[in-house]
Amino acid sequence: MNFLSRVKALKTYPSLPEVITALCEGYSFSSFLNDLRAGITVGVISLPLAMVFAIHSGLTPERGLYTSIVAGFLISLLGGSRVQIGGPAGAFVILVYAVVQKHGYEWLALATLLAGGLLILFGIFRLGSLIHHVPKPVVTGFTTGLALVLMTSQIKDFLGLSIDNLAPDLFEKIGQYIAHIHTLNPLCLIVSMVSLSIILYLQKRSKKIPGAIIAIIITGGLTAFFELPIETIDTKFGKIASELPPPTLPFFSLEFAIRVLPDAVSIALLGALESLLSATIADSMTGFRHKPNCELIGQGLANIGSSLFGGIPATGAIARTTANIQIGGRTPVSGIIHAATVFVLIALFAPLAEKMPLGALAAILMVVAWNMSDIGHFLAVLKGTRKERVLLICSFLATACLGLGLAVQLGLLAAIIAFLYKKMIKPIA
């Protein structure tokens, strides 16, 4: 057996990254052009989203950009899905915000590093299939509850309210909005509404059109030209770094790691669930079949890399992965190009990105939350069996009212129970 034959024989190995599998099957110039077009387009789409997710996690925008570059590159290079686009995601915003508000970034950096290690262990011990046993009503309730919390978190910037510290609790947050409604900024509301209208209109016309980018260009240009008195990235956070920082290990001690571990577990479980859900959706659109355990290992290494470069937790991003497929991406090369595109964009256009209005970014995240919610599926499950309704409502309320960390852990418990139940009844059947 010659060298090429041996390499091709390895392509079905369950822990082999999909980039090797795809290249072994033959990679043509036309495939590269498709990946190039998809990668550049998704990179452009990812730029504002990365900043949005970081800002609404209580951090500076560049931390989202670092994550999109480093984690996005590693997820595509080392993951088990051909078309997965990785980076910061809306699913993490509420969890990360709670951690940052309570403990600060150093805590989050170590939690992300430890979560990466846990994800690698999940993959090594082949726990990828276990995630697929989470009952679908639980996933639907979880994502809809998360979407509700995420959407309500954007009201402050959407309306331009003056609130110093936004409460993480849903009901406390609503109380703050009511108490501060007199601080509403009419100009900010107009900019937010214009952004939302542009995004929704272009999204209806074609999902290939990057509505978020166009909305930001228009509203950012108007804000700068007319010098509108509304908050932008520049006025709130200052200058955006135009290059990656050198890799740095987070502060570590055994005592500190033990205290951080519960948050690391929540990040790892949420990342595993979100990435494998995204990969499964991608499989249904392309006909490919992802390697769940390899994907978890890739996600783990990506989160470690993100932590070292000052980033935040990363996972597979459903919306960007879907866009990648629709534009023509079919191999991990498109994901690698996506990460390179974000890097080039911040190197060349960081001063322009600083002019983005926070209201426009809030509008983007509201659309992300709405798309995440899948209301149609939620209502369909409500019409299902009593068991499905109970699982749906419990997971929805747990996510919206009890906190994301607890909801993720309850979801894992549901997966274990479902897995054991199937194993127990199979011999009887």
pLDDT tens digits along 147-180: 898 899 889 999 999 998 888 788 899 999 999 9
- For residue 388, pLDDT over 90 is answered with no
Q: Which two tokens stand for residue 393?
A: 């409502």
- For residue 3, pLDDT over 60 is answered with no
C-beta separation of 144 from 378 below 8 A? yes
Comparing 375 with 75, the larger pLDDT belongs to 75
In the prediction, which pLDDT does 9 show? 58
In the prediction, which pLDDT does 364 show? 86
Instruction: Please give the Cα distance from 383 to 291 (Å, whole number).
Output: 33
Task: Give the torsion through C-alpha atoms of 91, 93, 94, 97, to 10 deg.
Answer: 160
For the residues 405-415, what does the mean pLDDT come to?
A: 71
In the prediction, which pLDDT does 190 show? 96
- Output phi, psi for 232, to 5 deg: -125, 175
For the residues 195-223, what does the mean pLDDT come to?
A: 87
Tell how far CA 234 is from the center of its chain.
24
For the residues 376-382, what does the mean pLDDT come to?
A: 90
**Residue-wise pLDDT tens digits, 356-375:** 899 998 998 898 888 878 78
pLDDT band at 376 (very low <50, low <70, confident <90, very high): confident
Q: Which two tokens stand for residue 424?
A: 């127990």
**Of 2-11, 65-74, 224-233, 301-310, the least confident:** 2-11
Would you tell me how many other CB atoms lie within 10 Å of the CB of residue 338? 33
Sequence-separated (6 or more) residues with CB below 8 Å from residue 332 = 17, 18, 19, 22, 76, 77, 79, 81, 82, 83, 84
C-beta separation of 94 from 170 below 8 A? no
In the prediction, which pLDDT does 6 show? 57
**Residue-wise pLDDT tens digits, 216-274:** 899 999 998 999 999 999 888 888 888 999 999 999 999 999 999 999 999 999 999 88
- 315: which DSSP letter? E
Sequence-separated (6 or more) residues with CB below 8 Å from residue 179 = none
Average pLDDT, the chain: 88
Sequence-separated (6 or more) residues with CB below 8 Å from residue 166 = 153, 156, 173, 176
Among candidates 98, 85, 59, 117, which has minimal Cα distance to 308? 117
> Among 136-145, 354-363, 391-400, which range has the highest average pLDDT?
354-363
- For residue 428, pLDDT over 60 is answered with no
Length of the chain: 429
In the prediction, which pLDDT does 93 show? 87
In the prediction, which pLDDT does 14 show? 64
Any bridge partners for residue 316, and if so which? 86
Q: Which two tokens stand for residue 262?
A: 């519960």
- 238: which DSSP letter? -
Query: In terms of DSSP H, where are the helices of 56-185?
Result: 61-78, 90-103, 105-124, 128-131, 136-152, 155-159, 170-179
Q: Which two tokens stand for residue 100?
A: 């940052």
**Residue-wise pLDDT tens digits, 296-333:** 999 999 999 999 999 999 999 887 888 889 888 999 99
C-beta separation of 396 from 149 below 8 A? no
